[in-house]
Amino acid sequence: MSSHPPIRSYVLRQGHFSSAQRHACEFLLPRYGIAFTEASIELNQVFGRTAPKILEIGSGMGETTAEIAAQHPDKDFVAIEVHAPGIGSLLNQIEKRGLTNLRIIPHDAKPVLQQMLIDASLDGIHIFFPDPWPKARHHKRRLIQPDFVSLLCSRLKPGGYLHIATDWEDYAIHSLHVLNSEQRLINTATD
Ligand SMILES: C[S@@+](CC[C@H](N)C(=O)[O-])C[C@H]1O[C@@H](n2cnc3c(N)ncnc32)[C@H](O)[C@@H]1O
């Protein structure tokens, strides 16, 4: 049996972890977080309503995530992030803005998608500025890979969308190639 550790798309950096972010992780995570579980979850039940469900992978410090959720109260948003300061920052924004349509899963997106989210359960997926991993020897860590995109497509409802943005030309070209190779996707942006 192979015992290779999984190739991760992130490295947990130390970075600055403010007391407000630490406090949020301790006290707000139980309220606005969804704990990782190996069993699938029912998102309509989590939010207590039937509404479109949008997943964001790698919400970073969460400003864009919170702003989009505030502007679309008719939709429910689930953010996935592994970086503790970012998780704390987003939790504080959810609390401050009183957002009832945004939750965070503090875990690696891959097992979350594989185990928690069921097929055809998402209306949209956002991946904004994923880590570019510019060095050739690190390209295998890039999130946008054929297997991962295939997993994303399985979790999207028919007609659902995948919105990816990057400001790294080389990653954009790579992503375009991977996305164009996925039969279930139609490119609605210009190349
Ligand atoms: C370059 S940052 C971009 C953050 C944000 N989307 C933005 O535009 O500012 C990429 C983020 O993705 C997160 N990330 C990378 N791989 C992840 C994974 N497998 N699961 C969850 N988060 C991940 C990192 O921790 C980091 O916060």
Q: What is the pLDDT of residues 54-113, one digit of tens each?
A: 999 999 999 999 999 999 999 999 999 999 999 999 999 999 999 999 999 999 999 999
Measured distance CA(5)–CA(150) in Å, rounded: 21
Distance 1 CA to ligand 1 centre (A): 31
Angle at 8 between CA 135 and CA 183, to 5 degrees: 85
Above 80 in pLDDT, residue 191? no
How confident is the model at residue 171, as a pLDDT?
97
Which one-letter DSSP state was computed for residue 139?
G
Across 12-16, 45-49, 130-134, 182-186, least confident range: 12-16
Q: Known catalytic residues?
A: 131
> Closest by alpha carbon to 117, among 131, 103, 130?
103
The tokens for 182 are: 């996925």
Q: What is the pTM of this model?
A: 0.97
- Mention every residue, 6+ apart, whose C-beta is less than 8 A from residue 80: 55, 56, 57, 58, 59, 104, 105, 107, 109, 112
> What mean pLDDT is reported for the chain?
96
How confident is the model at residue 158, as a pLDDT?
97
- The residue contributing the CA closest to ligand 1 atom 24 is 58
Measured distance CA(71)–CA(36) in Å, rounded: 27
158-175 pLDDT tens trace:
999 999 999 999 999 999
H-helix segments, the chain: 19-27, 29-32, 43-47, 63-71, 84-97, 109-111, 146-155, 169-180
CATH number assigned to the domain with residue range 19-180, chosen from the 4 options 3.30.43.10, 3.40.228.10, 3.40.47.10, 3.40.50.150? 3.40.50.150
Q: Which position has the higher pLDDT, 54 or 5? A: 54
Mean pLDDT, rounded, for 7-25? 94
How confident is the model at residue 1, as a pLDDT?
55
Mutate to test the pocket of ligand 1, among 7, 8, 9 (most ligand atoms within 8 A of CB): 9
Distance 12 CA to ligand 1 centre (A): 11
Show the ligand 1 pocket: residues with CB < 6 angstroms: 9-10, 57-60, 64, 80-83, 86, 108-110, 128-131, 143
How confident is the model at residue 2, as a pLDDT?
58
Distance 110 CA to ligand 1 centre (A): 12
C-alpha distances in angstroms, 144 versus 29, 54, 160, 174?
Answer: 28, 18, 18, 8
